[in-house]
Chains A and B, each alone.
Chain A
Amino acid sequence: MMRFYRALLHLYPASFRAEYGEEMCAVYKRRRTSLLSAALEVLRNAPAVHWDILRQDLRYTARTLARSPGFTAVAILVLALGIGANTAIFSVTDFVLIRPLPFQSPDRLVALWEKLPGYTHMELSPANYGDWKRMNTDFEDMAGFTTWQVNLIGQGAPERIKGALVTGNLFAVLGVQSLLGRPITPADDRESAPHTVVLSYGLWQRAFGGDSGVLGRKVNLGGTPTVVIGIMPPQFSFPDQEVDFWTPFEFPEAAFGDRNNNILNCVARLRDGVSLQQANAEMNLIADQLRRQYPKELQHTGAIVDRMRDDISEQRRLLLVALAGAALCVLLIACSNLANLLLARALARQKELAVRTALGAGRERLIRQLVTESMVLALLGGLLGIALADIALPLLIKLVPSLPLSGAPSIDLRVLGFAAILTLLTGVGFGTVPALRAGRGDLSGLREGSRSGGARKAGLRSALILAEVTLSVVLLISAGLLLRALLRVQSINPGFRSDGVLTLQTALPMPKYLAQAKRTAFYRRVLSEIQALPGVSDAAYISFLPMTMGGGIWPVNIDGKTLDRSEGHSASLRFITPGFFSTLKIPLLAGRNINESDASDNPLVAVVSESLARRYWPGQSPLGRHFNFALFDRTIVGVVGDIHVRGIERNSEPQVYLPYQQGPDAALIFYEPQDLVIRASGNPRLLLPAVRRIIHEADPEQPISDVRTLAEIVQDDTAPRALQVRIIGAFAALAFLLAGLGIHGLLSFTVSTRSSEIAVRIALGAQPRNILRLVLQDSFVLATAGVVLGVALAYVAGRAMQALLAGIAPADAATFLVAAGLCFLMTLVGSLVPSLRALRVDAITAIRSE
């Protein structure tokens, strides 16, 4: 009974127990209340006592912190930067990599891809989609979609909107309901079904004013009257935020025979109890089976099943993981720096603490007081950090790839929870060591002129500084490697000149411009008027701008043989107007340019890129050769330089350019030139009003979209990388500042504790040189050890992010040397003031004070 009561008393703070425990036991012994009521009584009172002590400690903390506002401000700022950086990066990482997708049982949703040589992921051909769907047993259902764009006409200004063509079961596979009306169902995607559309909440609000009367009404989608059957809820976004409507595929059955046209994205729902591995195994079996059945078309075609949540490129993932690692480094450095500051303070307060111990404050009370203090600091730092993260977040938006998630990363409850845990760990992290040290509570601090504990504490502080130096070297080297990678990527010639070029899109709606002559008239009128504008040196139209659309790939057939597409016998198809090469300054290497005489009734011609010519006619002139491409036989009349169609860092197929007038009337309308490029001698943006007017006069119903400069497009291609380098660079700079401050603090401390030793040495005739060596030795030993450890860790980190390094070696000597050099420089700067102070130690005063 008594033992139970004694155990209960452990719920009270130790200091309270030590003070009153015995008496409480005595009272309990006399009273003999029931165990239950004793337990209830303790449960009621113990938290109250804890609260009393906490209040007292908080008051004390407030006074202590207010007494040294400089220290408090620096501590809070350092913590805020550490916690803020981690919180901001976490909110992006969580949004991109962790947060479950907003669909029913999202962990069972998978994305399916074809695996082809030269591609990590390839969309499905309709025929393969049909077979995979029919043959599998592991999926509840499988759906397909592809994105497209149309002009929305008749709802205010004509607008170019992005949408998705979906199979009828897509909404059921995702498990989502519409907000109003109904989603698309399998009945809608038959060829005979009426044209229907489901609108996004955003488009419904923007173009239709949120009027529910729009349900059942016909709207003009790219010239096709289409019935609105449903509105999706605001949080629905698929496959990414830009998609504003969904229409059913109206595939003719024949389309499902095509195995070369890889246009379908595919999502599927795993059956209960089927693992991702099982699904992958089954899909590989099916791919094998199909390969045997269609050896020519599918010789190298495999299958990939990814969890939909993980369907993000490895590079994007690595980018974020590297940032999270860097942010964590900053926080660790901030923690060790603060632990150091607190140790120094604890030392300065040794007398105060010793007095309090002597006055009867138990060790536990002291630790508790110090932990309260570090927790208060951490909490204030955490609050400021969250505010900083909130400010920083919009700047990180370029790190977010397109995802089926609505909204953007924000500081929500999840992120706040993360920040809270981080703050708690931080407080414990930097508070515990100093508190335990201080809690040893020897009374030697009371001795007159006491210098006790110096050596041991300096050892601990050195270890903390070593950690700081090491981590900052890791950050510096990582930042250096990534910067070199960025510079290398940015120095890659995209194959065209991006400066001074304005681009915009005027996608011609199709029944209206179905006749070639009508399109030609539009292009000619617009281009000739734009070319006449002052400041314009050239202008042209192309199907799709480089780096904005990687697709449009067709198989290349030479001499009547169908070449195996999976061995990379394919090229990107673009229709252009004559001025395209000169507008983008793509060099003409042989033969002639496309020109106005390449009309539809003349022989079909093509200009190809150098790599295509080299592949099929190595060492020979490709001019005059024939090849079959995009439905027809074409003659090569010119060779131009290759460009990076798919973006700087990806391999691109060779390019084939066809004259704009030789696009057939009904087929290939997807490839009709829609992107306008204008080279200006001055700022290209200034041309915009005149260009808008010209297009409006040519066709008042024609929307203009995607106005950008070509330089922006090229820049966007490496924007996530550039942003990552800037952030890690900033982290590295911060880490270095903190480490430098740490070294400064440690040396100041050493100099002041060893001032009598230094004085004796000076008195005995030591030269300034000797004194300097004495002081600097410590910091340079630390710096050297930090560089050695840091270099080793940085190499490991570099290996881990090799995929981001664009071919820069993880052990890049130049980067490592610069980082080491900077580290020693930082050590020197950090040591400067304490060293000078050591030199100025006045022998007489220092010795007398002993």
Chain B
Amino acid sequence: MALKSPSPESFLPLPAATFHILMAVAEEDRHGYAIIQDVAARTGGELKLSAGTLYRSIQRMLEQGLLIETEERPDPEFDDERRRYYRITPFGAAVAKAEATRMSKLVKWARALGFA
């Protein structure tokens, strides 16, 4: 329903959950629980997304065009009928990239000041 496509930068800074979800679906399409597990694994258990946070974020990201729901089932044998799979869109990737750039700049400046 978005009429004009906004620039990736207009989404920054990205909420942490959103950024993690984008990273979780970067390599392959995942369903909700897989996203939670992936995020937990990536952060060594530091970030455990709750179901509410996850699906609220997903709903927003779908509306913002960062994700789409896919029709294809990557693993039909283990597939559960009610599961939906999410895939990152090119725009989602651009937003994730912009966020990563923003963060690395931030870290660089912090280092220069001896913060890390």
In B1-53, the 8 Å CB interface with A consists of 1, 31-33, 36, 50-53
Candidates A12, A27, A46, A48; contact of B32 at CB < 8 Å:
A27
A698 within 8 A of B: no
Q: Are B51 and A28 in contact (CB under 8 A)?
A: yes
In A41-70, the 8 Å CB interface with B consists of 41-42, 44-46, 48-49, 52, 56, 60
Contact string, B82-102, partner A, CB cutoff 8 A, digits 1/0?
Answer: 111000000000000000000
Using CB atoms, name the residue of chain B closest to A53. B59
The count of chain B contact residues (Cβ–Cβ below 8 Å) is: 20
Q: Are A41 and B50 in contact (CB under 8 A)?
A: yes
Candidates B31, B56, B83; contact of A49 at CB < 8 Å:
B56
Minimum C-beta distance from A446 to chain B (A): 19
Bound complex: CA of A20 vs CA of B83, how far in Å?
Answer: 9
B63 within 8 A of A: yes
A518 within 8 A of B: no
CB-CB < 8 A to B80: which residues of A?
26
Q: Are B33 and A30 in contact (CB under 8 A)?
A: yes
Q: Are B56 and A56 in contact (CB under 8 A)?
A: no
CB-CB < 8 A to A56: which residues of B?
63
Bound complex: CA of A802 vs CA of B52, how far in Å?
Answer: 62
A-B contact count (CB 8 A): 56
B109 within 8 A of A: no
Q: Are A23 and B50 in contact (CB under 8 A)?
A: no
A207 within 8 A of B: no
In A14-48, the 8 Å CB interface with B consists of 16, 19-20, 22-24, 26-28, 30-31, 41-42, 44-46, 48
Bound complex: CA of A42 vs CA of B84, how far in Å?
Answer: 21
CB-CB < 8 A to A20: which residues of B?
32, 55, 58-59
CB-CB < 8 A to A60: which residues of B?
1
CB-CB < 8 A to A28: which residues of B?
51
Q: Are A24 and B52 in contact (CB under 8 A)?
A: yes
Bound complex: CA of A20 vs CA of B84, how far in Å?
Answer: 9
The count of chain A contact residues (Cβ–Cβ below 8 Å) is: 22
Instruction: Please judge, given known A-B contacts A23-B32, A23-B82, A23-B84, whether A52 and B56 are in contact too, CB under 8 Å.
Output: yes
Instruction: Please judge, given known A-B contacts A23-B32, A52-B59, A52-B60, whether A46 and B52 are in contact too, CB under 8 Å.
Output: yes
Candidates A23, A30, A31; contact of B55 at CB < 8 Å:
A23
Contact string, B58-88, partner A, CB cutoff 8 A, digits 1/0?
Answer: 1110010000000000000000101110000
Instruction: Please judge, given known A-B contacts A42-B52, A44-B52, whether A23 and B36 are in contact too, CB under 8 Å.
Output: no
Contact string, A162-191, partner B, CB cutoff 8 A, digits 1/0?
Answer: 000000000000000000000000000000
Using CB atoms, name the residue of chain B closest to A48. B56
Q: Which of A19, A23, A26, A31 counts the most B-chain CB atoms under 10 A from its CB?
A: A23
CB-CB < 8 A to A12: which residues of B?
52
Bound complex: CA of A303 vs CA of B75, how far in Å?
Answer: 93
Bound complex: CA of A28 vs CA of B36, how far in Å?
Answer: 11
CB-CB < 8 A to A48: which residues of B?
56
Minimum C-beta distance from A4 to chain B (A): 14
Instruction: Please judge, given known A-B contacts A22-B82, A23-B83, whether A45 and B59 are in contact too, CB under 8 Å.
Output: no
Minimum C-beta distance from A390 to chain B (A): 38
CB-CB < 8 A to A30: which residues of B?
33
7 closest residue pairs by CB, A with B: A45-B52, A20-B55, A24-B51, A41-B50, A27-B51, A22-B82, A49-B56
Q: Can you report 28 residue pairs joining A to B where beta carbons are below 8 Å apart?
A: A12-B52, A16-B55, A16-B56, A19-B55, A19-B59, A20-B55, A20-B59, A23-B31, A23-B33, A23-B51, A23-B55, A23-B84, A24-B32, A26-B32, A26-B33, A26-B82, A26-B83, A27-B33, A27-B54, A28-B51, A41-B53, A44-B52, A45-B53, A45-B56, A49-B52, A52-B59, A52-B60, A60-B1
